[in-house]
A and B are shown apart, each in its own frame.
Chain A
Amino acid sequence: QKEVEQNSGPLSVPEGAIASLNCTYSDRGSQSFFWYRQYSGKSPELIMFIYSNGDKEDGRFTAQLNKASQYVSLLIRDSQPSDSATYLCAVNRGPHGNQFYFGTGTSLTVIP
């Protein structure tokens, strides 16, 4: 079983819609949960992290965590064509929280 699983997509949404990206993880010892955005040919960029159950909002982005279901999601409101990218989910654990595990990413396309 993979540590972190994501639907590879591609996911297409019209401009202005809400994009919903989902991720599940296998180890209940996972501590924090991260979303990265990766544009084609570029490196991953950290956009949000969450470590408590519930929602965390940052501008148009909302991360949602449900530890009981081992599920984390990212909502992008008012999607823009510039949001078109691959979104990577990651978790961390270990005594210093420095062991990170990544999903393979979901490709998002926002259609103008």
Chain B
Amino acid sequence: NAGVTQTPKFQVLKTGQSMTLQCAQDMNHNSMYWYRQDPGMGLRLIYYSASEGTTDKGEVPNGYNVSRLNKREFSLRLESAAPSQTSVYFCASSESASGQYFGPGTRLTVT
């Protein structure tokens, strides 16, 4: 069981470039999430998907789009990267109220 996997682990983008962060889970969880974590700000929810076929905005959705490709996979897309999107991005999954399981994270720098 790999749990939650994310790719890539590190990425450097120039302002205006686009990229997609990939996330997959093998725990058969219904819900998946994308967070960003910045120093002093804690984890902030970008988007979540309560189940396959649904997505909802979180606290900081501007500048991002998501796709719940199937039950296993949930991707996050930055269409036009900005320096303010420099952060560590975590994907997580959960089943009901049992808590979330996090992937290893993607460290993104936008110059």
User: Which interface class (under 10, 10 to 19, 20 to 34, 35 or more) fits A?
Assistant: 20 to 34
Q: How many chain-B residues does the 8 Å CB contact rule pick out?
A: 22
Q: B-facing mask of A56-81, CB < 8 A → 1, else 0?
A: 00000000000000000000000000
Residues of chain A in range 54-112 having any CB-CB distance to chain B below 8 Å: 88, 90, 92, 96-100, 102-105
Q: Judging by beta carbons under 8 Å apart, are B43 and A31 in contact?
A: no
Q: A-facing mask of B23-47, CB < 8 A → 1, else 0?
A: 0000000110100000011110100
Binds A, one of B62-70, B74-82, B95-103: B95-103
Interface positions of A (Cβ within 8 A of B): 31-32, 34, 42-46, 49, 51, 88, 90, 92, 96-100, 102-105
Q: Judging by beta carbons under 8 Å apart, are A31 and B97 in contact?
A: yes
Q: How far is the CA of A49 from the CA of B99 in the complex (A)?
A: 7
Task: Report A95 CB to chain B, min CB distance, Å.
Answer: 9
Q: How far is the CA of A80 from the CA of B56 in the complex (A)?
A: 40
Q: Judging by beta carbons under 8 Å apart, are A100 and B102 in contact?
A: no
CB closest chain-A residue, reference B59: A101
Task: Report A84 CB to chain B, min CB distance, Å.
Answer: 18
Task: Report B39 CB to chain A, min CB distance, Å.
Answer: 10
Interface centre among A34, A42, A102 (most CB of B within 10 A): A102
Q: How far is the CA of A97 from the CA of B50 in the complex (A)?
A: 10
Complex contacts, B100 vs chain A, CB 8 Å: 34, 44, 46, 90, 100
Complex contacts, B40 vs chain A, CB 8 Å: 104
CB closest chain-A residue, reference B102: A43
Q: How far is the CA of A55 from the CA of B10 in the complex (A)?
A: 40
Given A98-B50, A100-B33, A100-B94, residue A44 in contact with residue B99 (CB < 8 A) = no
The reply on B61 being an interface residue by CB < 8 A is no
